[in-house]
Structure 1
Amino acid sequence: MGGSAKKIMGVGDDLVTQVGAFRSATESLTSAFGDDDLGSALGMIYQVVSEVAFESFQDSAETLSDIGDRLGLMAENYIATDTGNKDVFHEILGGLA
């Protein structure tokens, strides 16, 4: 479970990086709409829609990283519980011998 948690965190971190790179690449395209009325309107629509989309992408990536982090904590807690239970059983068995 701990290994899976690290992989999920890695995917989330990679996604944050990729979203940033994609955003940088698309921001350079805003001049592609032109200076006429239609181009200006399309550019404004694109700007609003892309801002919402990138916020969503960023939130999803950060949530994925957070899920991986929490899964890692869960794995650590399971290991601690299992170790504690094992120790208790060894004490019980030792007392019976």
Structure 2
Amino acid sequence: MPAYTVTTVAPMPNLENLKKQAKQYLRWHRERYYPVAAEIRAALPRFQHLDDNQVLEANFKLSDAQELIARQLGFEGWQALKTGAPAMTDQKNRPCLHPF
């Protein structure tokens, strides 16, 4: 029989903080900060076929940065995150069982 450990699910970040994170990703893209290219490519399908330089040269809008944040959190897009955020914050104190 497997052993289990009880952990709590981390709360969903505040929507205002997520908006600020999206703006930060937009700034990093404009500043050609190379580590952000890999994150964009990993999360956004339309950038997957591009290399780092091509990602940083591509048109990247705030809506793209918002989609990036949403996908990193497991949502299909920003709107899904906005509607799912209140439901996810309600689960912050629910225990979650994980096998070792």
TM-score by length of structure 2 reads 0.32
TM-score by length of structure 1 reads 0.32
| Bigger strand share | 2
Rg larger in structure: 1
| Bigger helix share | 1
